[in-house]
Chain A
């Protein structure tokens, strides 16, 4: 496994590349990206997927395997992953923007339409994001899924956001 990840908690580019959908699939809209790099005994992503896109585990310690053709980016797995390691990316959200659906367990939840700081895997602010939607239904069990729009070129980097300090 990627030594950078073990040392710092941040996966390197190669590790991310290895779990990334093909360019062709990305161009066809929303799809889940499973940033789960360690063999730990865990399988809720597979059991919660309504389309069975995340395959049933033969061994619960295996990393998840997804069929990107079956995945429609619904983000149910985003709220169900105990490791908060799944993100949905729609690179075709608009001509200039990509949409990222990410898990969020902090209060307060952001307001739809507000601008927030777009943050990468290392916790660095890399731009501005716009909150498009906040999903927090009871069956997501307090892991909200927040949809943010970011500049397309940031789609691969942004995995978190912080409130405040932007456009206020």
Chain B
């Protein structure tokens, strides 16, 4: 059995920062990820990040990933296990994992779960045809493997992911025929929307996909207009000849491990679904388990990175490793998080977190 102070599950933006912070806090760290590389979704992000210089704003996600991965690899106190899938997290602070066919155990004083999110699916006729992709798969194909998914794309969803992946498709020389968005408003950052509009992609708000058609693969999509009550407006259905339908209709926190570990879970729509109760330092109702990143609530990568730092410092402090500045670093990270969420685009997150924290995590009761 491997024994460490702090085990971080997930090597994306939150997990990498959690590992770095925990090590800075004096802890021995094990960082594990099911992929064969570190960086999570960061490695697919070719756009410059928002935020401030503290979160490396203006730097592309893929370059932030390289910097963080190099930092992690340069610190002897951090051990990295790749191609390692977390299986179960138990009351006696033992994690079981599957590693390239081997079953192993890890004992840690604290765990930081930074497992991220999974993509939502959309129900429509023909959604099982080859050519219907999740946006994450399209990004992986293009930005990890250098493969175009097709020639003509219909993007479903005008949140940040739909907008960013549309832009990346254009950069790869793929035509994006349209973006359909059920809501009457664009959900993502309007600067992303404006840059793909000038590049010639129509954004059709109050529109949805009715069906995908094709013999053996996608040959086209039927889209239609919706009214303010999200009902189909009759006689607005039309065909769009595309060979790729890319779904960017939201993310759900990947929280299976937290359910299994019996953390107190709450359904909070503002945070994207079921999330674990946590205190302000991201500690769950299970005192040995912390959370950070999208598993704690769907948000931007910049916040995920800062959350990772909060959880890392807090967990190190919690087990009594207290280099002089750990308390100060924790406070600085908490302040950064507050700043990132203080504007109108952070309102949903603020509401979601307030809702989660309006109940107590240490008692077995629901909202009363």
Query: How would residues 107 to 120 of chain A score, 1 for a CB under 8 Å from any chain B CB and 0 otherwise?
Result: 10000000000011
Q: Are the C-beta atoms of A8 and B205 separated by less than 8 Å? A: yes
Is A50 in contact with chain B by the CB < 8 A criterion? no
Q: Are the C-beta atoms of B345 and A44 separated by less than 8 Å? A: no
Is B214 in contact with chain A by the CB < 8 A criterion? no
B30 to chain A, nearest CB (A): 32
Seen from chain B, the residues whose Cβ lies within 8 Å of a Cβ on chain A are: 47-53, 57-60, 63, 170-171, 184-186, 189-203, 205, 302, 339-346
The 9 A-B pairs with the shortest beta carbon distances in the complex, nearest first, are: A61-B343, A83-B191, A9-B193, A123-B200, A82-B48, A44-B58, A160-B198, A9-B197, A42-B50
Known contacts A41-B52, A41-B339, A61-B342, A36 near B191 by CB under 8 Å: yes
Query: How would residues 140 to 151 of chain A score, 1 for a CB under 8 Å from any chain B CB and 0 otherwise?
Result: 011100000000
Is A128 in contact with chain B by the CB < 8 A criterion? no
Of the residues B170, B190, B339, contact of A60 by C-beta under 8 Å: B339
Q: Are the C-beta atoms of B170 and A85 separated by less than 8 Å? A: no
Q: Are the C-beta atoms of A44 and B60 separated by less than 8 Å? A: no
Q: How far is the CA of A41 from the CA of B344 in the complex (A)?
A: 9
A143 to chain B, nearest CB (A): 7
Q: How far is the CA of A82 from the CA of B53 in the complex (A)?
A: 12
Of the residues A9, A41, A105, A106, contact of B51 by C-beta under 8 Å: A41
Q: Are the C-beta atoms of A40 and B339 separated by less than 8 Å? A: no
Known contacts A7-B184, A44-B48, A48-B58, then 11 further A-B pairs from the complex at CB < 8 Å, ordered by chain A residue: A8-B205, A35-B194, A41-B51, A41-B341, A41-B345, A44-B57, A80-B48, A82-B49, A85-B194, A121-B198, A122-B197
B37 to chain A, nearest CB (A): 21
Seen from chain A, the residues whose Cβ lies within 8 Å of a Cβ on chain B are: 5-11, 35-44, 47-48, 59-61, 80-85, 105-107, 119-123, 141-143, 159-160, 162
Q: Are the C-beta atoms of B191 and A38 separated by less than 8 Å? A: yes
B341 to chain A, nearest CB (A): 8
Q: How far is the CA of A36 from the CA of B339 in the complex (A)?
A: 19
Q: Are the C-beta atoms of A42 and B57 separated by less than 8 Å? A: yes
Q: Are the C-beta atoms of B198 and A38 separated by less than 8 Å? A: no
Residues of A within 8 A of B63 (CB): 141
Q: How far is the CA of A11 from the CA of B197 in the complex (A)?
A: 10
Q: How far is the CA of A115 from the CA of B197 in the complex (A)?
A: 22
Q: How far is the CA of A131 from the CA of B132 in the complex (A)?
A: 39
Q: How far is the CA of A11 from the CA of B49 in the complex (A)?
A: 22
Residues of B within 8 A of A35 (CB): 194
Residues of B within 8 A of A122 (CB): 197-198
Residues of B within 8 A of A10 (CB): 194, 197
Q: Are the C-beta atoms of B198 and A123 separated by less than 8 Å? A: yes
Residues of B within 8 A of A106 (CB): 170-171
Which residue of chain B has the shortest Cβ distance to A57 in the bound complex? B52
Q: Are the C-beta atoms of A43 and B52 separated by less than 8 Å? A: yes
Q: How far is the CA of A36 from the CA of B60 in the complex (A)?
A: 19
Which residue of chain A has the shortest Cβ distance to B158 in the bound complex? A9
Q: Are the C-beta atoms of A60 and B340 separated by less than 8 Å? A: yes
Residues of B within 8 A of A59 (CB): 342-343
Of the residues A39, A105, A160, contact of B171 by C-beta under 8 Å: A105
Which residue of chain B has the shortest Cβ distance to A106 in the bound complex? B171
B203 to chain A, nearest CB (A): 5
Residues of B within 8 A of A38 (CB): 189-191, 345
Q: How far is the CA of A10 from the CA of B301 in the complex (A)?
A: 26
Known contacts A59-B342, A105-B171, A44 near B196 by CB under 8 Å: no
